[in-house]
């Protein structure tokens, strides 16, 4: 089934020291968008030029903006058709990169816990499903409860968090069992309240599939923005010499049809 989605992100910034800014809100891989537009305007009426994005692994596209000291409004719009996606094959580079510990996913410190809870499960796909079930049951989704510096360890101890925390903990458990796992920032039709969303992908039988322990939106209509080891690789804003204050941000994703059902059991590839 093909579903058409409309995606939009709006950001308002106060730039207090001019310079460059990395912006990651565009749909990964431009061929996946039927149409898209990125506009940047200052309160003083300037239109800083928008150059072609920098291409990063897994289709991630980052726009580098050179901004003056002013209030800046950024708007991104895109449309795309979501349908069945062929799962991406696991590469040797993926295997190396996504089984290593990272800043927010200290998998080397959680091997004992992972083996205790999931080590007796034989098949990797069943281990991943049990990790998703466990994290979904173990954590309470409470907006505003976690800090940007919290790793999966802090999340586990707190027993609560937001989407990035759920994804970090799942990734950490997977890597502790030598299952390649990576973090993905996405647009998510059906999410409430609407915002940027975070999920994770795990390699099952040599292919990448998407999982979401929050269960807040159907995976079939998710749209990939950025992919990396954890949230440090997928931030929607990163300063490159400028100084900013984020005034407002919003992300909206809607479909032209009813959202599909997702009970979490199927293996689904992230578009």
Residue in 241, 234, 98 with CA at minimum distance from that of residue 176: 98
Contact in structure between 241 and 19 (CB atoms under 8 Å): yes
| Structure tokens that stand for 162 in this block | 């937001």
Quote the tokens at residue 184: 């993905």
Take residue 32 and report the two structure tokens written for it: 């996946």
The whole-model pTM stands at 0.96
pLDDT tens digits in sequence order for the chain, 271 residues long: 678 899 999 999 999 999 999 999 999 998 888 899 999 999 988 899 899 999 999 999 999 999 999 999 999 999 998 877 899 999 999 999 999 999 999 999 999 999 999 999 999 999 999 999 999 999 999 999 999 999 999 999 999 999 999 999 999 999 999 999 999 999 999 999 999 999 999 999 999 999 999 999 999 999 999 999 999 999 999 999 999 999 999 999 999 888 999 999 999 999 8
Strands 140-141 and 160-161, how do they pair?
Answer: parallel
């Amino acid at each position: 089934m093909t579903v058409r989605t409309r995606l939009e992100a709006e950001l308002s910034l106060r730039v207090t020291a001019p310079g460059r800014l990395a912006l990651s809100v565009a749909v990964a891989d431009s061929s996946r968008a039927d149409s898209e537009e990125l506009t940047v305007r200052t309160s003083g009426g300037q239109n800083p030029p928008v150059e072609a994005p920098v291409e990063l692994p897994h289709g991630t596209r980052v726009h580098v903006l050179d901004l003056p000291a002013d209030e800046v409004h950024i708007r991104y719009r895109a449309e795309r058709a979501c349908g069945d996606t062929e799962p991406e094959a696991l590469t040797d580079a993926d295997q190396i990169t996504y089984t290593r510990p990272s800043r927010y996913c200290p998998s080397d410190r959680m091997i004992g816990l992972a083996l205790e809870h999931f080590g007796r499960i034989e098949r990797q796909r069943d281990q991943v499903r049990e990790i998703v079930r466990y994290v979904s049951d173990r954590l309470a989704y409470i907006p505003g409860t976690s800090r940007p510096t919290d790793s999966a360890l802090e999340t586990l101890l707190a027993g609560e968090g937001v989407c990035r925390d759920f994804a970090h903990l799942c990734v950490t458990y997977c890597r502790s069992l030598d299952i390649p796992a990576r973090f993905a920032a996405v647009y998510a039709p059906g999410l409430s309240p609407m915002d940027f969303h975070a999920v994770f992908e795990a390699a099952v039988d040599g292919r990448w599939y998407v999982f979401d322990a929050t269960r807040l939106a159907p995976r079939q209509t998710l749209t990939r923005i950025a992919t990396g080891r954890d949230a440090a690789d997928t931030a929607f804003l990163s300063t490159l010499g400028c100084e900013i204050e984020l005034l407002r941000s919003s992300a909206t994703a809607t479909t032209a049809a009813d959202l599909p059902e997702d009970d979490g059991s199927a293996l689904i590839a992230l578009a």
